[in-house]
Structure 1
Amino acid sequence: MSTVKIDDVIRILDKGGLVIYPTETMYGIGADATNSAAIKKLNRYKKRPAGKPYSIATSGKTMAEGYVFINKVAANIYKSLLPGPVTVVSHGKHNVAPGVESEAGTLGIRIPDHKLVIDIIKKFGRPITSTSANASYKKRPYKISDVLDNISESQKKLIDLIIDSGELPHKDPSTVVDTTCDDLTVLRQGEILFNNKNEILSRNEEETKNFAKELWQKYEIHFGRRAFVFALTGEMGSGKTVFTKGLAKAVGVTDLITSPTFNLQISYKLQTGHQSLVHIDTWRMSSPSEIYDLDFGENISECSIIVIEWADKIVDEIKKYTEEAVVIWVQLTFGKRENERLIRWMVAK
């Protein structure tokens, strides 16, 4: 483990450098959230497409108020759960570097439950980025080797300082909650579990497919009057395409369902009516706005059934259509046993 002087960390952050640091969940990588050059450098390190925002870490609610508008819903979370592994999304005040806020102007705030990180941010006087130290969609970093063994030499050269605290406890990432509306919306369940009765444990692929069928039957009364968007999130191999296969069978698609990773979208005509099941994979999208190149708005207007894998990459685009479509968020995470998947779902309002 390394011994690091806070003044050394501050000097690097001031110069637009990148610092890997420990948190109560996993290792993060920090850059000055107000420095455009630092954010561009972070984008190169993360190999992150344009349009995907960053959360920021602040030393407390007072600092956060300089960067976001905190409503009553958010204030309750700050009071009861922070510091801690929760990211609170609010409307931003546009006081961070371009690319940190979402394209819709929202911003996630983290107040880590880690004294060293809080001390660094307090002395720095500005927020730093709060994003995992791994490159996008790589292994969760619980120890420094998890980071270094899974990035290229060019990425390693972008790191200016590593604060090594040894292997961290293997915890889930922070829970992400959207407080921009009157009701709290859980965008990602993490270490802190908000009350959610909408969850099941699938023990194999067949059960995941059957759940997709049951979920469709629960809401199909709206079919034909509104579009459906099944917004799927989860790590590689968690079962997003398996869920889609079950849904496709439930709505009458007889074609073979394959992942549209390379061509982004595949459409399947339903046997009844003029609607389609549209299967989208955002993995290779460089910007959320690319969803409109796939006739997303037109498919909504035609009351299609749209399944989006890696939907967390285009959250703000999906939120624009909650009036026209039944938007169902489905999160798939790995269970304790090899074939188990914990599936949580929520209907957006």
Structure 2
Amino acid sequence: MFSLEVETTLEYLNKGGIILYPTDTIWGIGCDATNATAVSKIYQLKKRAESKSMLCLVSSIRMLEKYIYEIPDAAYDILEHSANPTTIIYDKPIGIAENLIADDDSLGMRLVKKGFAFELLKKLKRPLVSTSANISGYPAPKNFNEISKEILNGVDYVVNLPGESQNSKPSSIIKLKSDGLVQIIRK
């Protein structure tokens, strides 16, 4: 269903480009999460300080395990039982662009289970940056039509699926420390 758009988007990602794409929640700006130069381009476009980390999407538990040093047992239960898209902030990410990792050596990652982002991640085989499609400090757009011209013109590729969006709200965010401490950041 998405194969042509996935292939076109992959070409941009593999060249270090940044994309505007439908996630499992809202429209997001993304790039290959292992490419620090591409990550910097997103920070510049959003006018966001690099000290404010962004999250990443993965398509499987296996991919998650490759990029997080140690996944707490509680994370597996949360991933299996959460009905809504849930981002978990993990300690000690590995193999990820350094400018994505927070000062406390943590990174938010969300397991995507369906849709365009899932199909793209399966082909990319690496995590994908996902940050809301807005300039920092402005509200996140609820649909494609609310995305500013500055964002539309600032990315290297806009995925041609303007009606594709699963939700109109961002994911829940949970911080899960290696020692078992759980903190809800956003419901």
Could you say whether these structures have the same fold, taking a TM-score greater than 0.5 normalized by the shorter chain as the test?
Answer: yes
Who is 2:109 aligned against?
A: 109
| 2:146 counterpart SS class | helix
Residues 4, 162 of structure 1: CA spacing in aligned structure 2 closer, same or farther, 3 A cutoff?
farther
Who is 1:176 aligned against?
A: 173
Task: Tell me the TM-score normalized by structure 1.
Answer: 0.49
CA distance in 1, matches of 2:80, 2:111: 11
Letter of the 1:158 counterpart? G
Structure 1 moving runs of 4+ over 3 Å: 167-171
CA distance in 1, matches of 2:118, 2:44: 26
Answering whether residue 73 of structure 2 is matched by residue 72 of structure 1, we say: yes
| 1:99 counterpart SS class | helix
Residues 38, 15 of structure 1: CA spacing in aligned structure 2 closer, same or farther, 3 A cutoff?
same
| 1:103 counterpart SS class | coil
Gaps of 5+ in 2: none
Gaps of 5+ in 1: 190-349
Aligned-CA RMSD value: 2.1
Contact 2:87 2:174 in 1 (8 A): yes
| Percent of aligned positions that are identical | 28
CA distance in 2, matches of 1:112, 1:170: 13
Task: Tell me the TM-score normalized by structure 2.
Answer: 0.88
Give, in angstroms, the shift of residue 76 of structure 1: 1.2
CA distance in 2, matches of 1:176, 1:32: 21
Question: What are the within-5 Å matches in structure 2 for residues 94-173 of structure 1?
Answer: 94-149=94-149, 151=150, 155-163=151-159, 164-166=161-163, 168=165, 171-173=168-170
| 1:66 counterpart SS class | helix
Give, in angstroms, the shift of residue 3 of structure 1: 9.0
Give, in angstroms, the shift of residue 156 of structure 1: 4.1
CA distance in 2, matches of 1:136, 1:99: 17
Residues 15, 47 of structure 1: CA spacing in aligned structure 2 closer, same or farther, 3 A cutoff?
same
Answering whether residue 26 of structure 2 is matched by residue 23 of structure 1, we say: no
Residues 167, 94 of structure 1: CA spacing in aligned structure 2 closer, same or farther, 3 A cutoff?
closer
Which structure has more relative contact order (CA 8 Å, sep 6+)? It is 2
Contact 2:20 2:152 in 1 (8 A): no
| 1:16 counterpart SS class | coil
